Amino acid sequence: MKYLKNSIYIIGLSLLAISCNNASSNSVTVKGEVQNASKVYYGILKKGDVIGLDTADVVDNKFTLTHTIDSVGNIYMLSFDKGQNRIVLIPHNGETIEIKYDTNNEGGVYDISGSEESEAVQTINASLKATLDKLDSLNVIGKSLNDSDIASITKLRLAADSILGIQKEYLRTYIDNNSESLTAMFALYQPHPYGNGYLLNIEEEFEYYEKVSQGLHKNFPKSEHSKYLVNEVESAKKRVEAAKKTEVGAVAPDISLQSPAGEELKLSDLRGKVVLLDFWASWCKPCRYENPNVVKAYNKYADQGFEVYSVSIDGRQGKENAKAQWIAAIAQDQLPWKNHVLDFGGLEVASPLYNVQSIPNTFLLDRNGIIIAKNLRGPALEAKLEEVL
């Protein structure tokens, strides 16, 4: 979702000053205590932008805004004169929302009460911050490690994967219980700490996107947010159908690409062996950190029928010397297997075939070319090889 970032919409705030007073059951009141701000701005999210509805001066660290909500299915934003760390509101007429916030708080932490759905968004965002704090602690440890300390680096990566897995499960559970609420969108579109995508990737977690899409369409058929999600789901459905071709249990689509020497190497020629199909690139640090683990597994199991088919996407970033960097990385990481091929730039064939959105990305194939596992790393790869060989 292009207009979401850090679980809130990316916005440019256009403001229209309107004087409002005297809250009632036909209006919502927003009031609070704010430190280090002189003005508060209140707006509604429309087509990826925020349309200003009201402003209020902060006097003695306090402010009050009153607004009548004339339609359901909308998302509102509260901002301050510094323009950062906007607060998401999903209010309803009759609510009195109270906020406590210090704009100097870089983490955007605030207290909110009086609006169940607005509180839920705050809780979802707070869960992400807690996850980021844990990952930051691991990053501090990681910076102190030598690149050659593969065992410690692998241990940290597995710990990070576990932390992210817990957060994903929290988001799934939230969606299961709140699929008809606008707040579920903030669970769907929680950003991935290590990339431009989201923790719940739409292709991998399609059932959750579809569930929220159906719930919001049922409750808010005219809401632009509901309509946006319906369109996203319809578009993703085609990609999901394509991805089924590379699910566990499917026959791996064949690949035929050139080696560094220009020799055509086919994945299907490795039938009869257990094959790790590995998508990587020389510029991908996680890939390079994982390479020693793959080398270790290869050296241990090659005589028992284990093979690696490495597909580089070095050309994806458009570098002129992509091929040279790919070949150099093979030598530097001492990757001993023969099957190295390049899925180059705009001519990519294998990456779209396997719906590779990020790397490292691996598929383990049995001797008949059936996909039996995905994205096994470190000890998990060795454990699976021990099982199947």
Tell me the pLDDT tens digit for each residue of 106-146. Answer: 777 899 999 999 999 999 999 999 999 999 999 899 888 88
pLDDT at position 196 is: 65
Number of H helices, E strands in the chain: 9, 18
Mean pLDDT for the stretch of residues 4-24: 32
pLDDT in tens, 157-190: 889 989 999 999 999 999 999 999 999 999 999 9
Angle, CA 94 vertex, CA 89 and CA 98 arms, to 5°: 50
Helices (H), the chain: 116-143, 150-178, 183-188, 206-219, 224-243, 285-301, 322-332, 350-353, 379-388
Q: In angstroms, rounded to a whole number, what is the distance separating the alpha carbons of residues 73 and 62?
A: 28
- C-alpha distances (whole Å) from 306 to each of 103, 300, 372, 377 are 57, 9, 14, 15
> What distance lies between CA 113 and its chain's CA centroid?
29
What region does 240 belong to: left with phi over 0, alpha with psi -120 to 50, or beta? alpha
DSSP 223: -
Classify residue 241 as exposed, middle or buried by CB count within 10 Å of its CB (0-12, 13-18, 19+): exposed
In this predicted model, which residue has the larger pLDDT, 356 or 123? Answer: 123
pLDDT band at 334 (very low <50, low <70, confident <90, very high): very high
* Residue ranges covered by each domain of the chain: 4-113, 121-244, 256-388
Judge if pTM exceeds 0.75: no
pLDDT band at 88 (very low <50, low <70, confident <90, very high): very high
Residue 384 has pLDDT above 90, yes or no: yes
**Residues found in the chain:** 389
Intrachain domains 4-113 and 256-388 with the same fold: no
pLDDT at position 347 is: 54
Mean pLDDT for the stretch of residues 263-289: 94
Residue 13 has pLDDT above 50, yes or no: no
pLDDT band at 9 (very low <50, low <70, confident <90, very high): very low
Task: Provide CATH code, domain 4-113.
Answer: 2.60.40
Mean pLDDT for the stretch of residues 61-72: 91
Residue 257 has pLDDT above 60, yes or no: yes
Residue 6 has pLDDT above 50, yes or no: no
| Assigned CATH class of 256-388 | alpha beta
pLDDT at position 345 is: 53
pLDDT at position 82 is: 63
Percent of the chain with pLDDT over 90: 65
Residue 12 has pLDDT above 60, yes or no: no
pLDDT at position 326 is: 94
Mean pLDDT for the stretch of residues 183-199: 88
